[in-house]
Amino acid sequence: MATARILSGMRPTGKLHLGHYTGALENWVAQQNQCSADGNRAYDTYFLIADYHTLTTSLSTDDVYAHSLDMLVDWLAAGIDPEKSPMFRQSQVKQHAELFLLFSMLITSARLERNPTLKEQVRDLHMDSMSYGHLGYPVLQSADILLYKANVVPVGEDQIPHVEITREIARKFNNHFPHPLYGNVFAEPEPKITKFARLAGLDGKAKMSKSLGNTIFLSDPPDEVLRKMRTAVTDTQKVRKNDAGRPEVCTVFSYHKRFSTPEQCEEIAAGCQSGALGCVDCKKQCAANISAELAPLLERRTYYEARMDEVKNILFEGEAKARTVAEQTMQEVRTAMKLGEANCSATFFNTSCS
């Protein structure tokens, strides 16, 4: 059975929080380590630090490198293995920009404007206008995916429109530019619907966000996790310990469902509903369970933070591996499009093709 290939990525925003962990990172580790029935890896996994993508919403680049390293340390702490999974910055593999430019010729602005995810971003960010780069960021995502011949894309249901754009671009490229030796350059990637565990913020908002200050970071020690958990929103009708509570509307209980055992959750729900369990004790137990799961991550983070030269070397080696794969793809693209040395016209610039 052929090994499928996955590319996943995140924008470099610095240290990661529990929302990143349950929403994506732990799934990445599982995919990296998953084996097929024959004992081989089920997926080749590539992980992208999407620093170009940060420019679609902010032109400030002062902290991008530091944030990239912080995020990389969290990836390593969570269990991403550089021997199995190259990790690299988008900006350091120039083939991303080249393929993005070529793909931009294969899709209309009207098609991009119909992207429902883009419409939601414009609404949520209260944008009066957008740059060409922001409008075209699904095209850059398509280049990210297809540059590594990824044929499986793990996404939540809200991201399916992006995968469909990638499939359309791959199909159009293959139809217009068949390779002279083997036809299609790109496979049309299939979405792999993943039921990401979305965690609400400590304030009960829809999601954790550093900008809202409602996060627990993967790097938070137990005392900080407990301090933050004490501020978490609970059932507003449960004012005192003996009041009957409603676990189904409690933010803390939503964390219990992810970080506590089923038996613990059953006991906590019963104690909350009867009034036997107060919110203070409930939060203490939740914080302890979160810290227990984060303990090995903290240990690995401490190791890597003391060895930042090793972290940087992991990044540079991942980028070298990525460039090798990316350049092979681009050679196929240039051959299919009849671009490059063997096909260039020297007369236009009055220079040699060699």
Q: 221-253 pLDDT, tens per residue?
A: 999 999 999 999 998 888 888 888 899 999 999
CB proximity list for 212: less than 8 A, separation 6 or greater: 201, 203, 205
Question: Do 85 and 184 reside in the same domain of the chain?
Answer: yes
Residue 195: predicted pLDDT: 67
pTM summary value: 0.90
Q: For residue 131, what are the domain limits? A: 4-199+307-349
Q: How confident is the model at residue 259 (pLDDT cuts 50, 70, 90)?
A: very high
Contact 5, 44 (CB under 8 A): yes
Residue 342: predicted pLDDT: 54
Residue bearing the bigger pLDDT, 6 or 119: 6
Question: 212 lies in a domain?
Answer: no
Q: Is the pLDDT of residue 352 over 80?
A: no
Residue 347: predicted pLDDT: 44
Question: 289 lies in a domain?
Answer: yes
Question: Do 332 and 236 reside in the same domain of the chain?
Answer: no
Question: Do 10 and 158 reside in the same domain of the chain?
Answer: yes
Other beta carbons within 10 Å of 274: 11
Residue 271: predicted pLDDT: 93
Question: 28 lies in a domain?
Answer: yes
Output the CA–CA distances (angstroms, integers) from residue 247 to 18, 166, 177, 228, 279, in the order listed.
20, 41, 57, 19, 11
Question: Do 106 and 249 reside in the same domain of the chain?
Answer: no
Question: Do 324 and 291 reside in the same domain of the chain?
Answer: no
Question: 278 lies in a domain?
Answer: yes
Q: Is the pLDDT of residue 164 over 80?
A: yes
Q: How confident is the model at residue 215 (pLDDT cuts 50, 70, 90)?
A: very high
Question: 190 lies in a domain?
Answer: yes
Question: Do 168 and 242 reside in the same domain of the chain?
Answer: no
Question: 207 lies in a domain?
Answer: no
Burial class (CB in 10 A: 0-12, 13-18, 19+), 19: buried
Question: Do 145 and 185 reside in the same domain of the chain?
Answer: yes
Question: Do 110 and 148 reside in the same domain of the chain?
Answer: yes
Question: 210 lies in a domain?
Answer: no
Domain count, the chain: 2
For the chain, percent helix, then strand, then coil, each to nearest 5? 55, 10, 35
Length in residues, the chain: 354
91: nearest Cα among 61, 135, 46, 121: 61
Question: 311 lies in a domain?
Answer: yes
CB proximity list for 88: less than 8 A, separation 6 or greater: 46, 47, 48, 49, 315, 318, 319, 321, 322
Q: Is the pLDDT of residue 354 over 60?
A: no
Q: Is the pLDDT of residue 329 over 60?
A: yes
Question: Do 155 and 276 reside in the same domain of the chain?
Answer: no
Residue finishing a domain among 305, 320, 337: 305
Question: Do 184 and 237 reside in the same domain of the chain?
Answer: no
How many angstroms from the chain centroid is the CA of residue 224?
25
Residue 2: predicted pLDDT: 66
CATH number at residue 32: 3.40.50.620
CATH number at residue 269: 1.10.240.10
Q: How confident is the model at residue 197 (pLDDT cuts 50, 70, 90)?
A: low
Question: Do 161 and 274 reside in the same domain of the chain?
Answer: no
Question: Do 111 and 136 reside in the same domain of the chain?
Answer: yes
Dihedral angle over CA of 181, 184, 186, 189, nearest 10: -140
- Dihedral over Cα of 271, 272, 274, 280: its sign: positive
SS3 318: helix
25-43 average pLDDT score: 92
